[in-house]
Structure 1
Amino acid sequence: MRIAIIDMGTNTFHLLIAEINGDSFEVLYKTNVPVKLGEGRINDNIIIPEAFERGIECLKNFSKTILNYQAEKIKATATSAVRSAANGKDFVHSVKEQTEIEIDILSGDEEASLIYKGVKLSGAIEDLSLIMDIGGGSVEFILCDTENLIWKKSYNIGAARLMQKFFKSDPISDEDKNNILNYIQHELTDLFEICKQHQPKTLIGSAGAFETFAELVSSSKKSVIDLDTLQSYRFDFDEYITLSIKLINSTHQQRSKMPGIIPLRVDLIVIATLITNYVLGRLKINQLKLSTYDLKMGILATEL
C-alpha cells in the first residue's frame, strides 16, 4: 500500500510518501515547507490571512505530488496552531473544499502518543528516557523505556509562541532569557514532579531543532551527517553545551551565517536551546540523543 502522510505543524508542513509492505516500508518522497502558520498572532489563537493562504497553497501543491505518486491513502494531521486557533476549523474546511484533503486535528495527547511511536520506530530508546518534541506551538514530553510509554503531556510553550511573547532583543538579553525560563519553570511543574520519581537517564529530541543541533555540531567538526539516512544520533554532551552557549550568545546575523541553520530556525533555535538546556539542567541529564523519526513516522508506524 502506498500512503501519503501530511503533518501540518505550526512552522512547517511536512509531506511523506511511503510504500508499505507488511511490517516494512520504503520512503519514496519527503519534503517540508516553512508555511509559518503561527506567524504574527499565535498567542491570540488566530491564523492570520496571509498564513491561512500560504497553508492552502502548500496543500494544493502537496495534493498534486500525492496524485503523481498515486498514493492510495492520505493521512493528514494538524497540531497546535490549528487546534488552538479560533479559525482553525475554518482552515480545515477550506482545505477540504479546495484540495479534498481531510485533516484530523490532533489533541496534544494524541500528538504525544504518535511522537512516541515514531521515536520508538527509530530505535533511539535504549533506556529510561524523556522524549522532547519542540514544535512551534507546543512542546510534547514523553517519559518512556524500551517497552512502555509511562507518561506524556503536551504544553503550549512552543518556540513560536515563546518567541512572539518574549524574544525582543538581539542577541537575546538576560531579561528576555529570564522571562522565558521563569515561564517554562512555571508551566512544567508536573513534568519535573514525574521525572523526580522516575529519573530518566537520556533526553531524546525528536527531529526539528535537534536535527539543526546535530548539523551544527557536525559542521563544527568539519564532518557531514546525512539526516535523510540517519535514524538516531548520540551527541557528545560537551560539544552540545559548547554549541548551545554559542547559539544563545549570538546575534541573528551571526546565526544566519552558521552552516546547518535553515532560515526558518535562525531565531527559533535560540528558544529551543533555552528549553533544552533548562530541562537538561533541572533533571540532571547528561545524555542527549536525536531521533530523526517524529510525528509523521509515528503515523506511519500505526499503519505497519
Structure 2
Amino acid sequence: MRAAVIDLGTNTFHLIIGDLADKDPKILYKTTVPVLLGQGRINENMIIPEAFERGIRTLKAFKSIIDEHQVEVVRAVATSAVRSAINGQEFVDAAQAMGIDIQLITGDEEAAFIFKGVSALGIIQRTSLIMDIGGGSTEFIICNEDGLIWKKSYDIGAARLMQAYFHADPISDAERNTIIEVLDKTLGDLKAACMQYKPEMLIGSAGAFESFAILLNNGEDIGDIASMSLDIKAYEKLAERLLTSTHEERTKMKGLISLRVDMIVIAAILTNYILDNIGLHALSLSMYDLKMGVLHATKEQITSKAG
C-alpha cells in the first residue's frame, strides 16, 4: 500500500510518498517547497493573499504527483501558521475543494508526531531533548529509549521571532537580548522539566539543524544521511559566525538555502539558548521529523485495522 503525507509547515510544505509493505516504510518520492505561508503577518495570525495563493498552488501540484503515484492513503497535517490564522479554515476549505483534506493538529499532537519520527530512527539511546524549530512554533520533547517523557509546543518559531524582533543588519545586541528575554519568559516549564529529567543530548529535528550540518560540512550536501552527530564546539563557532554576519554575507555561505538566510540567525539564538541553559553535552541531527512521524503513525493505523 502507498501512503502520502503532506506537512503544511509555516515556511515549507513537504510531500513524501511511502510504500508501507515492509516493516519500515520505503520512501518512493519526496519534495519540499518554500511556500512561506507565514510571510508578513504571522504575528497578526493572518495568511496574506500571496502566501494563500502559493499554498493552494503548491497543494494542486502535490495532488497531481499523488495521483501519478496511485497513492491509496493521503494524510495532510497543518501546523502553526494555519491553526493560528483567522483565515486558516478558509485555507482548509480551499484545499478540500480540490480533494485534499487537511487535519489541523495541535502543538501537542505536533510534538508527538515529531517524537514518533525521531524514535523511528533508533537513535534515542539515552535521555535526550528533541528540538524542532519551525516557522510558527518550536517543539521540545524529553524522551529516552523507553519512550516519551514530556513534550510541549511553544509559539516561538523562527518566522514569528524574526518578524517581531530581527530588523538590524547584522542583528543587534539589543535585538538578541530582547529575544533572550522572550525565551526566559516563555521556557520556564521546559527548564524545570529538564532539571527534573536531566537530558544529556540535544537532538535537532531536520530544518535548521540540517542547515547547521551542511554548513559544518563546508557547505557540502549531507546526502541521504538520516542522522549524524554534530560537534558542539564547531557548532558554537558557526553560530557566532552566523550571529555576526550580514544578510549579504549569509547569502554567500555555501549550502545555506535562501529560505533560511535570515531565519538561521534566529535558529542559532534558539539553539544557543537551549545549549547554554540546559547543560547538554552532545548534539545530533535527525532527518526524521514530523512528516516521517505521520507516515509511521499511518502505517501503524493501517496495520492495526488489518489485524
Is TM > 0.5 for Structure 1 vs Structure 2?
yes
Normalized against structure 1, the TM-score is what? 0.97
**Whole-Å Cα distance in 1 between the matches of residues 58 and 25 of structure 2?**
26
Residue 276 of structure 2 is aligned to residue 281 of structure 1: yes
Matching residue's letter, 2:42: I
Residue 37 of structure 2 is aligned to residue 37 of structure 1: yes
Residue 247 of structure 2 is aligned to residue 248 of structure 1: no
- Checking the alignment, whether the CA contact within 8 Å between 1:2 and 1:73 is kept in structure 2 is yes
Matching residue's letter, 1:258: M
**Whole-Å Cα distance in 2 between the matches of residues 28 and 224 of structure 1?**
20
Residue 165 of structure 2 is aligned to residue 157 of structure 1: no
Two-structure CA RMSD over aligned residues (Å):
0.9
Q: What secondary structure sits across from 1:131 in the alignment? A: strand
Residue 267 of structure 2 is aligned to residue 272 of structure 1: yes
**Residue in 2 that maps onto 1:128:** 127
Q: How many residues align?
A: 299
- Checking the alignment, whether the CA contact within 8 Å between 2:4 and 2:295 is kept in structure 1 is no
**Residue in 1 that maps onto 2:101:** 102
Matching residue's letter, 2:291: K
- 1:22–1:28 Cα change, 3 Å: closer
Residue 222 of structure 2 is aligned to residue 225 of structure 1: yes
**Whole-Å Cα distance in 2 between the matches of residues 196 and 24 of structure 1?**
35
Normalized against structure 2, the TM-score is what? 0.96
Matching residue's letter, 1:53: E
Q: Post-superposition shift, 1:25?
A: 1.8
- Checking the alignment, whether the CA contact within 8 Å between 1:212 and 1:260 is kept in structure 2 is yes
User: 1:265-294: CA deviations, max 9, x gaps?
Assistant: 000000000000001000111210000000
**Residue in 1 that maps onto 2:304:** none
**Whole-Å Cα distance in 1 between the matches of residues 242 and 125 of structure 2?**
29
Q: What secondary structure sits across from 2:242 in the alignment? A: helix
Structure 1 residues not aligned, in runs of 5+: none
Structure 2 residues not aligned, in runs of 5+: 301-307
- Checking the alignment, whether the CA contact within 8 Å between 1:79 and 1:107 is kept in structure 2 is yes
1:57-68 aligned at under 5 Å gives the runs 57-68=57-68
Residue 50 of structure 2 is aligned to residue 53 of structure 1: no
**Residue in 2 that maps onto 1:258:** 253
Q: Post-superposition shift, 1:260?
A: 1.3
**Residue in 2 that maps onto 1:211:** 210
Matching residue's letter, 2:283: L
Residue 196 of structure 2 is aligned to residue 197 of structure 1: yes
**Whole-Å Cα distance in 2 between the matches of residues 74 and 269 of structure 1?**
31
- Checking the alignment, whether the CA contact within 8 Å between 2:25 and 2:296 is kept in structure 1 is no
**Whole-Å Cα distance in 2 between the matches of residues 254 and 146 of structure 1?**
41
Q: What secondary structure sits across from 1:122 in the alignment? A: coil
Q: Post-superposition shift, 1:224?
A: 5.1
Q: Post-superposition shift, 1:123?
A: 2.0
Query: Identical aligned pairs, as a percentage?
Result: 54
